[in-house]
């Protein structure tokens, strides 16, 4: 069983479209994250939820909106996609917000054309 699973793995879409990436963790963790990894491999945290509550909301365009229906799920919705949104988006989770051992999903490759 995959601990942190996200779908879709690959997504090619046109500028201006709206898309969602879904994430589920079966580890029983309280904290979930969305990270963005650009072409230079730099990892940037976007959001963090702890028990369905937003904890971290980094400087991210408000076109990006996370939704956590329960503590096992954290979805990412992106409105009006732009070329610069092309990146790999990683969902992750940890037992709590202490930062110890973050488990990452395999990533969702988003290409905006």
Partner 1 sequence: QQQVKQSPQSLIVQKGGISIINCAYENTAFDYFPWYQQFPGKGPALLIAIRPDVSEKKEGRFTISFNKSAKQFSLHIMDSQPGDSATYFCAASRGGNYQLIWGAGTKLIIKP
Contact between 56 and partner 1 (CB under 8 A)? yes
Residues 6+ apart with CB under 8 A from 60: 46, 47
Angle at 64 between CA 99 and CA 80, to 5 degrees: 155
Contact between 107 and partner 1 (CB under 8 A)? yes
Question: How many CB atoms are located within 10 Å of the residue 43 CB?
Answer: 12
Among 25, 48, 75, 93, binds partner 1 (CB under 8 A): 48
For partner 1 (CB under 8 A), the number of binding residues is: 22
Nearer CB in complex with partner 1: 82/104: 104
Query: How buried is residue 104: exposed, middle or buried, by Cβ count under 10 Å (0-12/13-18/19+)?
Result: middle
Contact between 14 and partner 1 (CB under 8 A)? no
Contact between 59 and partner 1 (CB under 8 A)? no
Strand ranges of the sheet holding 4-7, from the earlier edge strand across to the other edge: 4-7, 19-25, 73-78, 64-70
Contact between 100 and partner 1 (CB under 8 A)? yes
CB of 36 to partner 1, least distance (A): 12
Q: Applying CB under 8 A, which residues contact partner 1? A: 4, 40-43, 45, 48, 55-56, 90, 92, 97-107
């Amino acid at each position: 069983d995959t601990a942190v699973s996200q779908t879709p793995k690959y997504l090619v879409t046109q500028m201006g479209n709206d898309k969602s990436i879904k994430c589920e963790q079966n580890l029983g963790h309280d904290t979930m994250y969305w990270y963005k990894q650009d072409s230079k491999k730099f990892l940037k945290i976007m959001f963090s939820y702890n028990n369905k509550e937003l904890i971290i909301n980094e400087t991210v365009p408000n076109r990006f909106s996370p939704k956590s229906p329960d503590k096992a799920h954290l979805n990412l919705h992106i409105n009006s996609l732009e070329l610069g949104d092309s990146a790999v988006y990683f969902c992750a989770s940890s037992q709590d917000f202490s930062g110890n051992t973050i488990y990452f999903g395999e990533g969702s490759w988003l290409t905006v054309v």
